[in-house]
Structures are given as structure tokens and as C-alpha cells.
Amino acid sequence: MVASAVSNELLGDLYHSHHADTSDDTSMPAQLAYMRTVAAANASWMEIAESPADARRIIAAGKLAVVLGVEADSVCGGAMRRDGQLDPLHVDAIVQKWFALGVRLINPLHLADNALGGTAVFDDRLNLSSHYLVSKYASQLPKPWFFEIDQQKNLLEGVELLLGGNPASGAMITIYHQGYPDYLHMRPDGHINAKGLTFAGRTFLESMMKRGMLVDVEHMSWHTLDGAIDVAGKHDYPLFSTHTGLRALAPPRGNATWVRGVAHEGMRTDAQIAALKKLGSVIGLAGHLGPLKDVAYDTSAAWARAYRHARDHLGLDVIAVGTDMNGFIQQAAPRFTRDDQGRLHPVDPHNATRALDYGTDVIPHVGTVLRQSVLGSRSFDFNVDGLAQYGMVPDFVTDVALQLGGASALDAFFRSAEGFLRAWETCVARAPNV
């Protein structure tokens, strides 16, 4: 399991009224230290792995191998927000700082642009958050800016996301009151970030690679991802896309300005998946895919559909799941509702695979009969509660197996831990030549 420290300075400052240090530089090390405390307190069944050899030893002992990660907006410091600002000569010390803390996986980009490159744009609220970060460190930066969209007449490869198109964002934009750009007027077909991988960003990736670290390309803009694949290709170095969606399965926007689940640049195209596969990369499908063009509801059925596409159409024989379970991300919703008589009815009549049968259905490849998860006095039923908490991941896996036709259909998923370790071993092997 990858356990990533994650934070948002805007939310932190709102919550603490600026009376606490909410910077990523402070928050990330504190979270990582706490993860070590949790692992030490539960040493009988989990341990932090700092190398693939560590992970194999831990797994062989029947324990959970935990890989520490950082998924932050300001991995190089809060003020490092634009191209040319970060001296490449200082990059190695930054990467070494995280490596010394036991971090082995890093997202160079999260939900805001930084000095390493551009983030994938898919939500107006994150645009406000990115603008706020620039404002917060304004004494060291020029006038704050919002995302800059690419206005070249290039092919969007299916991207239909429109910044400013979601009416639910209107109130927050008004409250923020900082002159939000009229993106819809700039370009009416689709919006991607104009920013790509910077020279400092390339230096950062190679600094990670020479240590055998795991480069997570999630949240990179289209142009930034292209740059990362180019750098990795020069070193034949695997990358990790840990919780992605598939652009080919996104619902069309049609004539509307906003459709939930519409294709954005953070979703991978089939061609991008092929390029990552060629490098020996590991792909993790997000557990929160939302509605797809042929699955109307955000349930385990959407993940099963994406898994089939990745396995059968894209030829992936290793497919992980990125739960991204961090408190704000909606997980797989229930596939059923229960009437007054206790009978189950499918939420989506077109996806009415039978419900989980606790006490009868067996967790695929594990051979254990599935029991309901219990917290305190409450029992959880995946059929009507969905993926409500970590303890229900076995329920999720079993429910996906029901929809795919049995345990054998999940072979690519159950190979993902081994695939992850082999990719990590390749990273370590390539490191001396970077």
C-alpha cells in the first residue's frame, strides 16, 4: 500500500484562521512521522518498506508493506510556483530531504502549478486554490495568476472539460472575488493547461531516478506528462500512474457546458497508457471514476468497466486500484437500495448483477468467506453502503469479481503487488546510470 502525505494550504488556513503553520514543508514531515508511529504501533501486521527488498521481506512475513509517498502542491516549497524560479542546482537537496524521511514515491505535481510544471486542470475550485497559493507567498512572487489554458489549435484528444462551465462553482468563484478569467470565451471546445515540464522539473525527475525513487505522474498536465515520459524514455525508467481515469470512457459533454465525469487532461488516453506500458510502468485505476459513457452511476460497476477496457483493449496484465481515500474523494457508491421490506433493488437497472451475499461469497484468490465489516455497533453492507471505509476493500473486490464473471477475471489486479515491486526493482537497477 502506498500511503501518501497530502494537504491543502487554503483549507488549512481557512480552518485555522491563519493561526497555525499549514505549509506543506511543515505538514508533510509531520504526517510522515505520524505514519511511522502508526506502523510501529501495529508492527505485528504492517511495516514501512524503503526498498523493494524490504517490501518482499515484509510480504513474505505475512504483513502489509507500506510505501511512504508525498502528494503535495508545494513539494519544493510554497514560494516555488513558476518556471525559472527554482534553481536546478538546489533540486537535488530537496529530493534528498524527502528521501531521508523515507519517502520513496513523489507526485511532482498535485492540484496546483508549481516550479516543476503544470497541473492537470479539471476543477474551478482547484484553480482558486492555486491562485491562493501564489497570493500567500506574494512577497516572493509577481502578481497572482490563475491557470493559463492552451489556446493553440492543437488536437484535444477528447478533452471536453471547460473551466467556468460547472454552475456549482459559481458561488465559490464569486466569494473568492479575484477576477476569475472568462475561459469559456477564450476557448469553447476544451481546456488543458498551457504549462509543461520545466527545466527544474526535468532535473527533479532525474534526481528522483538516480535514487531509484518512484515517479508518480498523476495530476500532471498533458504537456507535463509528455515531458515526464520523454525523460523516463531516455533512461528506460518505469513511471507510476497511481489513480487515473480513462479518457476513452468519459461521458460526452454534448451541447452542455458541464457534464459530470466529462473528459479532462488528467485522464489518460489510450496512447498515453501505451507509452507508459512500454516503459514498464504501473497503472492504478482510480476507485472514484464517476459516471462513464456506458455506466451512469459512480459504483463498482464503473471500475469493473474501466478494468475491462484496460485489460482487454489496452492489454494491461497488471492493474492496481488507487483508492485515493483521503476524506474528500467520493468512493464507489452503493449499487442497490433497500425498500421497507428489506428487499434490494438495483440503482442502475442496466447494471443489475446480483448483490453480494455475505457468508456465502468468497473473496477472490483469498479463499475466505466474506463477512460484513463492523465498526463499533454498526455493520456495513457494501450493497447499500458502498465503499464506506478501508475495511470494505475486500467487499469492493468481491463485488467487482461478480460483475466480471468470477475470480479469474481479476488476475491482472492480483498481479499488481508483484508488478509494483518488479517496476520498483527496475527503478533501483536503472538508478546508477541516470
17 — pLDDT class (breaks 50, 70, 90): confident
Mean pLDDT value across residues 119-142: 89
Under 8 Å between Cβ of 412 and 307:
yes
Is the pLDDT at 248 greater than 70, yes or no?
A: yes
The dihedral built from the CA positions of residue 360, 365, 367 and 368, taken in this order, carries a sign that is negative
User: Cell numbers at residue 304, please?
Assistant: 469493473
pLDDT at 297: 87
Is the pLDDT at 47 greater than 70, yes or no?
A: yes
Structural domains for the chain: 2-332+415-433 (3.20.20.140), 338-413 (no CATH)
Q: pLDDT tens, 56-78?
A: 999 999 999 999 999 999 999 99
Q: What is the pTM of this model?
A: 0.96
Under 8 Å between Cβ of 88 and 235:
no
Query: From the CA atom positions of the chain, what is the Rg in Å?
Result: 22
Q: How far apart are the C-alpha atoms of 168 and 171, rounded to whole Å?
A: 7
Whose CA is closest to 99, among 198, 24, 209, 231?
Answer: 209
Question: How far does CA 185 lie from the centroid of its chain?
Answer: 30
Mean pLDDT value across residues 316-330: 89
Whose CA is closest to 325, among 296, 291, 286, 363?
Answer: 286
